[in-house]
Amino acid sequence: MYLVEKRQMIESSGTDKGSGKFERKNRMSTFTDIGIDLGTASILVYIRGRGVVLKEPSVVAFDRDTNKVKAIGEDARLMLGRTPSNIIAVRPLRQGVISDYKVTEQMMKYFIQKALGKKTFRKPRIAVCVPSGVTEVEKKAVEDATMMAGAREVSIIEEPIAAAIGAGIDISRPYGNMIVDIGGGTSDIAVISLGGTVVSASIKVAGDDFDEALVRYMRRKHNLHIGERTAEDLKIKIGTAFRGSPSETMAVRGRNLITGLPITVEVTSEETEEALSEATTQIVEAIHGVLEQTPPELAADIADRGIVLTGGGSLLHGLEELISEKTGINTMTAEDPMTAVAIGTGKYVEFLSGYKGDV
């Protein structure tokens, strides 16, 4: 089920003041405010007035002999598990926080320049979203990396707030809204009312943990060693979180741990449910924990309005049904869960621009 509330995009205002020079300046200022969804698995860039203009994996490949970057984004992702010993493909963000500061800075600089183009005369104002459970030190690291990557001003926004805005929810009203944002490294659960977070929780269980659970299951059950990309394909194609889902099968190729030779194994969706049950149970328990702490009036609103899922992890088949069954609350996925956080972050930038004036 998809969220029926239609996103209303905030359009940048600009009037004709006469000269072509003024119009060019006005257009240029319109396109220099951006929002970044700095995800563990992917980075999305939203430019004011243009929407989401870039979505690439947050992977960097570099040569450790020369310490030079070889590839960033999709080109680097294709190198995962396929590089010679001197080239390493790494994810500089782990579980929603920066694990390698310098590589993250280089990656952000590359994506900002790619999104804006080379002919940029002003440094952009940038809003970056972070998991709700990050520490002040981790938040400062994101802010510093963004400034070093070329921002003139940085705003930090928590992921559940950005996800709610991007999903088309009016968070300014005095009603309880529950958002569950399942990304690559973290799952953020929050109850939002009057533009702020009332109760929240952030757990380090998300899409990457789904992949790792499938790798462990294949090793334990089939004596088959598979890579990260194969596990992700398995999750996307037949992965399920709900036992009542229709059965599907997929041929999975990997290396037999006993013979050391490549083999192919048929895997069913029921097996993926078994493999993923520990991770999905932790997410459901975190949702239950937030609901237990929610004030009764807001809890009544959530029971009436439902739970909204965002993030790439929410696309796991059967997750809506599992959460609905365990909580007794109708659960729905946002219209475009992959880009909801980036869109919400960008709209937050637009709000700041309107509030401060386009200076």
For residue 200, pLDDT over 70 is answered with: yes
For residue 29, pLDDT over 70 is answered with: no
pLDDT of residue 297: 95
pLDDT of residue 83: 75
Task: Collapse the DSSP code of 106 into the 3-class scheme (helix H, G, I; strand E, B; otherwise coil) and give the result.
Answer: helix
Domain boundaries, the chain: 20-56+96-164+339-356, 172-205+276-333, 207-275
Which of 33-37, 217-221, 235-239, 283-287 has the least mean pLDDT?
33-37
Q: What percent of the chain has pLDDT over 70?
A: 87
pLDDT of residue 78: 82
Strand residue runs (E) in the chain: 33-38, 42-47, 51-57, 60-63, 68-72, 87-90, 93-94, 97-98, 125-130, 153-158, 177-182, 187-193, 196-203, 224-225, 249-256, 262-268, 307-310, 331-333
pLDDT of residue 172: 85
pLDDT of residue 118: 65
What is the phi/psi pair of residue 16, to 5°? -75, 115
Which of 17-26, 79-88, 111-120, 274-283 has the least mean pLDDT?
17-26
Q: How far apart are CA 210 and CA 75, in angstroms?
A: 23
Bridge partners of residue 190, in order along the sequence: 179, 200
Q: What percent of the chain has pLDDT over 90?
A: 48
The matching CATH number, chosen from 3.30.720.200, 3.30.420.610, 3.30.420.40, 1.10.275.10, for 172-205+276-333 is: 3.30.420.40
Cβ proximity of 250 and 266 under 8 Å: yes
The CATH architecture annotation of domain 20-56+96-164+339-356 reads 2-Layer Sandwich (3.30)
For residue 13, pLDDT over 50 is answered with: no
pTM, entire model: 0.81
pLDDT of residue 353: 57
Cβ proximity of 54 and 44 under 8 Å: yes
Q: What would the CATH number be for the domain defined by 207-275?
A: 3.90.640.10
Quick: pLDDT tens for 76-123: 888 877 778 888 888 888 877 788 888 888 898 888 888 887 655 678
Taking all residues of the chain, what is their mean pLDDT, rounded to a whole number? 84
pLDDT band at 24 (very low <50, low <70, confident <90, very high): very low
Give yes or no on whether 20-56+96-164+339-356 and 172-205+276-333 have one common fold.
yes
